[in-house]
Structure 1
Amino acid sequence: MIVYPLGISGQRLIFCPSVVAHFQKYRQLRWWQREAGGQLFPRFALPDITVEEATGPHRGDWRTRFTYQPNRRAEQQEIAERHRRGLHFVGDWHTHPEAVPTPSARDMQSMGELFARSEHALNGFVLLIVGTDPAPRGLSVSLFDGTYCVILPARRGALTEPEAPRTAKGLRRFI
């Protein structure tokens, strides 16, 4: 399990071991491997937001070494199916061919646009980028509220003392 404290809200974004294993399976460790990605679905038991499922990649995604564009129809079907099971869409994940990934300008713009055009009751969407290093070092987790991007620090296992985010601008309660 990997835990990300959500600023001073007291909330925690938690990724189950099976979800982390799913990400690790798609790391771009070879020059010929293409970016992969999908969606994140947690259960809310506040203060914990536990991501229990990560989907993708899908047939119909556009994938190159440095580009990932999802099959939006497949994503909408996933959202509806997961919602019926009590899971809620909170964001996306995809890979980058770099050891310790960071969101690109395109990533930030896409997440901001997705947040703005979506119908939801969240204060932000999550973007998780999977790098070539093993988790947690090879994961970058960011929150987007349509205006700001906050990159969260990770802790593996039980969390005893939350760390401050790298930038506090725009960070507030997730839901």
Structure 2
Amino acid sequence: MISYDIGQSGQSLEFVDKVLSHFERHRQIRFWQREAGGLLFARLALPAIEICAITGPRRSDRRGRYSYWPDEKAEQREIDDMFALNLHFVGCWHTHPEDVASPSQIDIRNTTDCVKRSRHVLNGFIMVIVGRKDIPAGMCVSVCDKASVYELPLSRGTAPQRPATATPTYGTVRNDRR
């Protein structure tokens, strides 16, 4: 398990080993591998937000070397199914063919737009981008609100840290991305 601090909120974002293994399987290590992505689901035990379920990629997604377009209807079904299991949609993940992942302007625009369009009570959504380097060094983990992206730092003792900016608290969860 790895953990990220969520700003000065005292909250943490934790990724269970099963989710980390899923990221590892889909890293774009070879030149022919296409971007992959999906949704992140959490169990809430505040102050910890435990990312314990992950979806994607799906056969119905459109994927290229430098692009990923999810099947949004399938995503909504996944959100509904996971909510029935008391797991809350908290964000998205995808891969990039770069050693240390960072969000593109398209990633930022799409995620902040998703926060604006969605009915929820979160302060933002989680965005994880998985690069080619080993996890967690190649990952970028952020909280995105309606206007900005805030990269989260690894919790002390987890692994070497990447520089990050402060972020607001995460908020509480309602389950609907429509």
TM-score scaled by length of structure 2: 0.91
Counterpart in 2 of 1:76? 76
Distance in 2 between the 1:22 and 1:157 partners? Answer: 23
- Do structure 1's residue 173 and structure 2's residue 169 form an aligned pair? yes
Runs of 5+ consecutive residues of structure 2 not aligned to the other structure: 172-178
Partner Cα separation in structure 1 for residue 77 and residue 39 of structure 2: 11
How many Å separate the matches in 2 of 1:105 and 1:62?
19
Deviates more, 1:149-158 or 1:9-18: 149-158
Change (3 A) 1:157 1:87: farther
Give unpaired runs (5+ residues) of structure 1: none
Match of 2:20 in 1: 20
Alpha-carbon distance in structure 1 between the residues aligned to 2:128 and 2:102: 9
Quick one: distance in 1 between partners of 2:155 and 2:20? 13
How far is 1:157 from its partner? 6.2
The 3-state SS of whatever aligns with 1:89 is: strand
Q: Specify the code of the residue in structure 2 equivalent to 1:166.
A: A
CA distance in 2, matches of 1:153, 1:143: 11
Write the mapping of 1:52-131 to structure 2, written as runs, cut at 5 A: 52-131=52-131
Indicate the SS of the match to 2:147: coil
Per-residue deviation, 1:125: 0.4
Mapped to 2, the partners of 1:156 and 1:140 lie a distance apart of: 16
Partner of 1:135: 135
| Counterpart-to-counterpart distance in 1, 2:162 and 2:22 | 27
Tell me the number of residue pairs that the alignment of Structure 1 and Structure 2 aligns: 170
Give me the identity figure in percent: 47
Match runs of 1:42-53 below 5 Å: 42-53=42-53
1:45 & 1:87 partners in 2: Cα distance?
11
Q: Take 2:48 and 2:38, find their aligned partners in 1: how far apart are those partners?
A: 22
Deviations 1:32-73 (A, max 9, x none): 000000000000000000000111000110100000000111
Q: d(CA) in 1 for partners of 2:132 and 2:109?
A: 23
What amino acid maps onto 1:79 in structure 2?
Answer: I
Structure 1 contact 3–157 (Cα < 8 Å) conserved: no
Aligned residue identity for 1:91:
G
Structure 1's 25 and 156: CA in aligned 2 closer, same or farther, altered over 3 A?
Answer: farther
Between the aligned partners of 1:28 and 1:72, the Cα distance in structure 2 is: 23
**Residue 144 (structure 2) aligns with:** 144
1:64-83 CA distance string (max 9 Å, x none) = 00000001111000000000
TM-score of the pair, normalised by structure 1: 0.93
Looking at structure 1, the residues matched to 13 and 42 of structure 2 have their Cα atoms a distance apart, in angstroms, of 9
Counterpart amino acid of residue 56 in structure 1: G
Which amino acid is the alignment partner of residue 167 of structure 1?
Answer: T
